[in-house]
Amino acid sequence: MPVTRPRAILFDCDGVLADSEALAAQVVADDLAGRGFPVTPELCQDVFLGRAVPDMVAVIEQRFGRVPDDWPAQIGRALTRRMAEEVVPVPGAMQALRRLAASGIPLACASNSSRAELSAKLARLGVAELFQGRVFSFEDVDRPKPYPDIYAAAAASCGAAPADCVVVEDSLPGIRAGIAAGCRVLALVWELPEALLRAQGAEPFRHMDELPGLLGVA
């Protein structure tokens, strides 16, 4: 892939910075199993990877049954508490992030998490300050990923046109959001196979160690 130094780098959080998807799937599976629904963490990870909590409700009700109206708030509190205490970084992500921040390229974080959950993860990883306030939750825009709103907002916060930004993603809704915003999308091969990421228009890479070099940062 071409080595072009971008005007800004827009990071997804889950599966790119935070190794959080398995923990999130466990929290959701525990909740739904407690309601008597036949779910496993593996099923939750397959069905919900990259989705915002409000977008999960329709899927749950279609496949399993009713959840209370305040389920998004309930699961949001559980996710925030567990992430604040337990989440760990994706291998190589913290080193890559610090090298990219030191290069002077503006960084932003754009996640389908709630504000509270996203803040908890970035605080636990110790990298919140590297984004200098350019942190976007689905709550900050009209529509979550796969719509382009969150990456459009993140690019604007960096003072960059989307076409000059690189998005770093791992999920299908996230890749679609980045492509729809008009960004170049690099996708970490993490939960999903490389061919599937490529078919969505992303450029796959295999380890976060590679990212600075791919973006022209030595």
CA distance 75 to 202: 31
Site string for Mg ion, 151-170 (x = CB under 5 A): -------------------x
Q: Per CB under 5 A, does 12 bind Mg ion?
A: yes
- Judged by CB under 5 A, the residue of 6, 11, 15, 153 near Mg ion is 15
155 close to 183: Cβ distance less than 8 angstroms = yes
* 55 binds Mg ion per the rule CB under 5 A: no
In the complex, minimum distance from the CB of residue 37 to Mg ion, in angstroms, rounded to a whole number: 24
Q: Coil, strand, or helix at residue 135?
A: strand
Q: Does 144 bind Mg ion (CB under 5 A)?
A: no
* H-helix segments, the chain: 21-34, 41-48, 53-63, 71-86, 93-102, 115-125, 149-157, 172-181, 194-199, 211-214
Q: For residues 168-207, which are near Mg ion according to CB under 5 A?
A: 170-171
State the minimum distance, in angstroms, from the CB of residue 14 to Mg ion. Answer: 4
Residues at the contact surface with Mg ion, assessed by CB under 5 A: 12, 14-15, 170-171
